[in-house]
Amino acid sequence: MAAEKTAPRLEDQWRDILSVHARTMCEIDRELHPHGLGASDFEVLDILVSGAAAEPGGTCRVHDIAERVHLSQSALSRLLGRLEKEGLVERSMCQEDRRGVSVALTGKGRDLHTEVRPLQRAVLTRMLTGE
C-alpha cells in the first residue's frame, strides 16, 4: 500500500525535473542562438574550459566528454564536427592511445565561451533560483 502512495509522488517529481530541464535548455538555446551556439555546444565548450577531464596540454578525450554530456556518441561526434568546422575546437589523435581522439579549444572557442558564459549562467540563475 505504501508503494502505491509513493509512486505517483515520485513520478510527479520526475516529471517536474524533466520539465525544468527542458525549459532551461530551451532558454539557453534562445540566449545563445544569436552567437551561433546551442545549449549542447556550450556544454562541450564549458567542459573543455573547465579542464575537468583534461589531459596534459589542455585537451580532453572525446570519451571523457561523452561521459559528461547527455548525447549519443554519434550526436557528440556531429557536434564536435560542427565546432571544429567553425574553428572553435581542434581534434587530434590521443598521444597515449592512437584509438582515441582528443579535443582542444582554440583561441576563438575560448573567446566565444568567455563572451556567452554570462548569458548561460544568467539563464541558470533565472530558471533554477527564480531570481
Q: pLDDT confidence of 7, banded at 50, 70, 90?
A: low
Do the bridges between strand 59-61 and strand 89-93 make them parallel or antiparallel, or are there none, so unpaired? unpaired
**Joined grid coordinates for residue 2:** 505504501
pLDDT at residue 1, as a whole number: 47
Cα gap 2→109, rounded to integer Å: 52
Closest CA to 50 of 35, 42, 94: 42
Q: What's the Rg (C-alpha) of the chain?
A: 18
Q: pLDDT confidence of 61, banded at 50, 70, 90?
A: confident
**Domain assignment of residue 119, given as a range:** 2-129
Instruction: Report which of residues 55 and 60 the model is more confident about.
Output: 60
pLDDT at residue 131, as a whole number: 72
Q: pTM for the whole thing?
A: 0.84
The structural domain count of the chain equals 1
What tens digit of pLDDT does each residue of 34-52 get?
Answer: 999 999 999 999 999 987 5
What tens digit of pLDDT does each residue of 67-82 get?
Answer: 999 899 899 999 999 9
CATH number, domain of 80, equals 1.10.10.10
**Which ranges in the chain belong to alpha helices (H)?**
2-32, 39-50, 62-68, 73-85, 107-129
Q: How far apart are the first and last CA of the chain?
A: 40
Bridge partners for 92 per DSSP: 102
